[in-house]
Amino acid sequence: MKLDEQTRNDLFDYLLRLGDDRLILGHRLSEWCGHGPILEEDIAMTNIALDLIGQSINFLKLAGKVEGNGRSEDDLAYHRDALDFKNLMLVEQPNGDFGYTMTRQFVFDVYSLHLLERLQSSRMEELAAIAAKSLKEVRYHLRHSSQWMLRLGDGTEESHRRVQTALNDLWMYTNEMFETDEVEQRLAKKGIAIDSSTLKPDWEKTVSNLLNQATLNVPEEQGYWSTGSRRGIHTEHLGYILADMQFLPRAYPDAKW
Amino acid sequence: MTSKSKTQTDSIDTQWPLWEVFVQEKQGAPHEHAGSVHAPDAEIALQNARDVYARRGRLLSLWVVPSAAITATTPSDDGPFFDPGNDKIYRHPQFYKVPRGVKIF
């Protein structure tokens, strides 16, 4: 697909958003390795982490190709600083307890599902292909996180309380998933990207249906929604995440697996 | 006369219930026992089994069965149940001559 310079720049930005979301969320989930509440969930969460990191490899690889400066997915993952990351603030939030992690995962999975379903029809073939492949994995992720939301929400008094707390805490980060800007608008007009604001109704419907079933409350209107992550504004957490994640390749640039 | 109070279970196993996992690799092949998982219910057991046993290599089908539903022999059953009786040749179909052209699978 032939791209003019502006589209090239826009697409590079857009692909970083897609890749960074999954890279950082995958990294957060990987922090559960060896610490899961039960062996099977330890394996489940790290499996999901691997899926997400795999998806981010695909998006970041394509980003590097579109940029055309020879940057690989590893260069983009390990040698950018926090201000150049475009992930949502939602995925930077700490894992908390198992219920917290499941809540964060659930609200992201619903968004990812609706987004990827639409992105399968992108006019850019490689992007559509990545979306189609990732969609299978995300259906499974959503199945896993929704089943846990149901059990924890409609569970004991303690599990219900913990998940409700997580929802109340994380809700302010959810609006960002549906913010759009000129970059996205230009790409959407060309049929390459999806206008994020069009995903909100479906997301709200899917999420509130499940929360009702789980006897959980949809948090009230927020006084403040987080914003700016797509422009490189992040919470304090991202710095620590990158310090962990990027330390090895930065300290040992010649290290090979 | 002791009355058992209904607090925690008396057993030392505080894990979730145990499920046995059976996997089918090829169309028509029997499901084979792959191992076990702990899970609170059937849906989670299926997911856990998929994560633990189905991640590498393609599977066609996955079964999970509560371990409590399985009745199995014990070692002391070995003699009465399984003694092959090879010395009782009248119990084995060894005297029939198979005609040529008849396929025995």
The 10s digit of each residue's pLDDT in A77-103 is: 999 999 999 999 999 999 999 999 999
ipTM score: 0.83
B39 contacts A40? CB cut-off 8 A: yes
Domain membership flag for residue A124: yes
Which amino acid, residue A78?
Answer: Y
Domain membership flag for residue A256: no
Chain A residues with CB under 8 Å of B34 CB are none
The gap from C-alpha A117 to its chain's centroid, in whole angstroms, comes to 15
B47 contacts A147? CB cut-off 8 A: yes
- Helix, strand, coil percentages (3-state) for chain B, rounded to 5, are 25, 20, 55
B40 contacts A44? CB cut-off 8 A: no
Domain membership flag for residue A189: yes
Rounded Cα–Cα distance for residues A196 and A219 (Å): 21
At B87, the pLDDT band (50, 70, 90 cuts) reads confident
Is the Cβ of A47 closer than 8 Å to some Cβ of chain B?
yes
Chain A residues with CB under 8 Å of B51 CB are 40, 43-44, 47
Domains and CATH numbers, chain B: 15-69 (3.10.20.520)
Looking at the 3D structure of chain A, how many domains does it have?
A: 1
The 10s digit of each residue's pLDDT in A135-172 is: 999 999 999 999 999 999 999 999 999 999 999 999 99
pLDDT at position B78 is 79
The pair of structure tokens assigned to B49 is 């089994």
Chain B residues with CB under 8 Å of A44 CB are 47-48, 51
CATH number at residue A19: 1.20.1260.10
The pair of structure tokens assigned to A142 is 């959503």
* Residues 25-54 (B) with a CB less than 8 A from some CB of A: 37-41, 43-44, 47-48, 50-52
Chain A residues with CB under 8 Å of B40 CB are 151
**Rounded mean pLDDT, B36-60:** 92
* Residues 207-226 (A) with a CB less than 8 A from some CB of B: none
Whether pLDDT at B5 is above 50: no
The 10s digit of each residue's pLDDT in B69-84 is: 999 988 888 777 777 7
Domain hosting A83: range is 5-251
Domain membership flag for residue A257: no
The gap from C-alpha A135 to its chain's centroid, in whole angstroms, comes to 13
Chain A residues with CB under 8 Å of B15 CB are 38
